[in-house]
Amino acid sequence: MNTTSPAIELKGISKAFGPVQANKDISIRVMPGTIHGIIGENGAGKSTLMSILYGFYKADKGEIFISGTKAEIPDSQAAISAGIGMVFQHFKLVENFTVLENIILGAEGGWSLTTSLAKARKSLIELAAEYELNIDPEALIEEIGVGMQQRVEILKALYRQADILILDEPTGVLTPPEADQLFRILGRLREEGKTIILITHKLREIMDITDTVSVMRRGEMTATVKTADTSPEELAELMVGRKVLLRVDKAPAKPGKVVLDIQNLRVVDEQGVERLKGIDLQVRAGEVVGIAGVAGNGQSELLEVLGGYADGKGTVLLNGEPIDLTGKNSDGQSRRARGIAHVPEDRQREGLIMDFMAWENTAFGYHHDDAYRAGILMDNAAIRQDTEEKMERFDVRPPDPRLSAKNFSGGNQQKIVLAREIERNPDLLLIGQPTRGVDIGAIEFIHQKIVALRDQGKAILLVSVELEEILALSDRVAVMFDGHIMGERMPNDTDEKELGLLMAGVGS
């Protein structure tokens, strides 16, 4: 590789989707053997730009140079041939295939699959050892965690001899320990001379791992700076065009009566595995109780049973009155009628119907409300008007109620769900991963909305894998491990290290 030339250079790249200009005359240079971050708000055009580089989209105009040589990349196969690999935010793996089968898929080579698998197994073992990406080649994808699945995606790119690796929001589904391990792997890849482009909205990650960072806003490249010469505050301002408060500004809580009282709550999943093992927890009016824990330790099941998505055993009192944990009165509609609102962890699978329009999604779960009805029929005009007003209050972009949910960026999808649930004036708000995959400007906005609801005297139960978010938003923190609550802490009396030990099952 010619180290005097950029590993990647894009000149004057533009791309429009109908009336929407996703990229406007973008130029960027990425030097070899470096980690180059690209940040920007949701919908800024980051993923579109990288999809052009990887051959998923064709630019309307502009040029691509690889190691100083002009390249045509009409499809992803051409990108792979040019030494470019991409790890997508949502992994492209076949779940009932093994690790080895996924890595070789599409690059089998030769006439004998048996021979190809044997050759690939040897190559995979060597790559895994070289880059500390150790994983069992015979493991099924559906049986390994997301952190391991991401390793498979990286190995797949390396197996195809990628010298340039693009990672799109790689830590969006990872726990903090998994993210730390990923960064160690990326550092090792950089030491080996690989060039890495990292798309993320997390400023801490940018400051920790990148050498250079480019900032995009509304389809344009606004700045490229050396990471050592900038700060999170400066990058945030470059991203959103204004100063951004990076901490949560809130007054001390004034807890009132007990709104949610959980006693000996147990949940057994469809495979007969006990996921909640006798949970006791209270949430009072006017406070945020945060649940910290590594994913898979019962937090999701806790939200599901409280939200009416799963059955449970034990006692749950809302404002002193029991709620049904099984039977016909234990569903989401019954919960909403009792004053429980729920922002689910996965907005796309559980919070929205992606092919439906924004105004339809805004009404889901509340379509029986009198304000949404005209006699026995739904009043669609009233729902659309209500959605327009919610979009304005929650700064949803674009503010078009007729746009399908799938056509909004992740942060704006999250705002649609939040607007629907928060504005129902609930006694209790259940909220899972409130800012997963959301940019810095939207994070600030969402945090302000949660604090405002708390200050109105509402009870909030918050689940997040982001310890920084848990400590910033919560008035009390409960830590879950293996279906148990390991202990409770006040945010001012603890730190990420102590919570990390509790999350690993150490201490109480």
pLDDT in tens, 61-91: 999 999 999 999 999 889 999 999 988 776 7
Confidence of residue 4 (pLDDT cuts 50, 70, 90): confident
Confidence of residue 115 (pLDDT cuts 50, 70, 90): low
Residue 202 has what pLDDT? 81
Could you give all domains of the chain from N- to C-terminal order, each with its CATH number?
8-240 (3.40.50.300), 251-339+426-508 (3.40.50.300), 353-425 (no CATH)
Among the listed ranges 181-190, 202-211, 225-234, 439-448, which one has the minimum average pLDDT value? 439-448
Confidence of residue 2 (pLDDT cuts 50, 70, 90): very low
Tokens encoding 194: 């690989």
Cβ contacts of residue 233 below 8 Å, gap of 6+?
Answer: 243, 244, 246
- For CA atoms 356, 361, 366, 368, give the dihedral sign: negative
The closest alpha carbon to 443, from 251, 248, 208, 286, belongs to 248
- Position 3 pLDDT exceeds 60: no
The closest alpha carbon to 326, from 341, 340, 309, belongs to 309
Segment 384-409 mean pLDDT? 92
Confidence of residue 23 (pLDDT cuts 50, 70, 90): very high
Residue 465 has what pLDDT? 82
| Strand bridging mode 274-284 / 258-268 | antiparallel
Confidence of residue 277 (pLDDT cuts 50, 70, 90): very high
Rounded to 10 degrees, what is the CA torsion of 15, 17, 20, 26? -10
Confidence of residue 1 (pLDDT cuts 50, 70, 90): very low
